[in-house]
Amino acid sequence: MSDYGTPPPPPPAGGGYSAPPPPMGGGGTPPPNNLVLAILGLLCCWPVGIPAVVFAAQVNGKWASGDHAGAVDASAKAKKFGMIALILGIIVTVLYVILMMMGVVASSSTSSSM
């Protein structure tokens, strides 16, 4: 008997794409990366905002590689540095406006008394 007369087996059903592989180490939703907060913090106070952006960028990569504890830690650090940068930026801006107003008032009172 020869195998030349038998047809080839049919292709697998369901299309050309397979289901995505399951995440390593279990499922669940990844922690928020806080990237928007980190960028706002970077605009307000860049020395503290830079680490916030770095930690925010690490969250998704660590989660995808299975380092869930590292992803949660990076998310918390990104949020902490982002909030600190945002608060420092607001405080410095308010102080700047107050000092400028005091300077305007002081200069207008000395020029009017001359």
Domain count, the chain: 1
Least confident of 34-43, 48-57, 81-90, 98-107: 98-107
Structural domain harbouring 108: 35-112
Q: Residue 85: which residues within 8 A CB-CB, separation 6 or more?
A: 40, 41, 42, 44, 45, 46, 48, 49, 52
Residue of 29, 30, 25, 22 whose CA lies nearest to 66: 25
* pTM, to two decimals: 0.69
Question: Residue 41 falls within a domain, yes or no?
Answer: yes
Environment class of residue 8 by beta-carbon count within 10 Å: exposed (0-12), middle (13-18) or buried (19+)? exposed
User: Average of pLDDT values for 42-54?
Assistant: 95
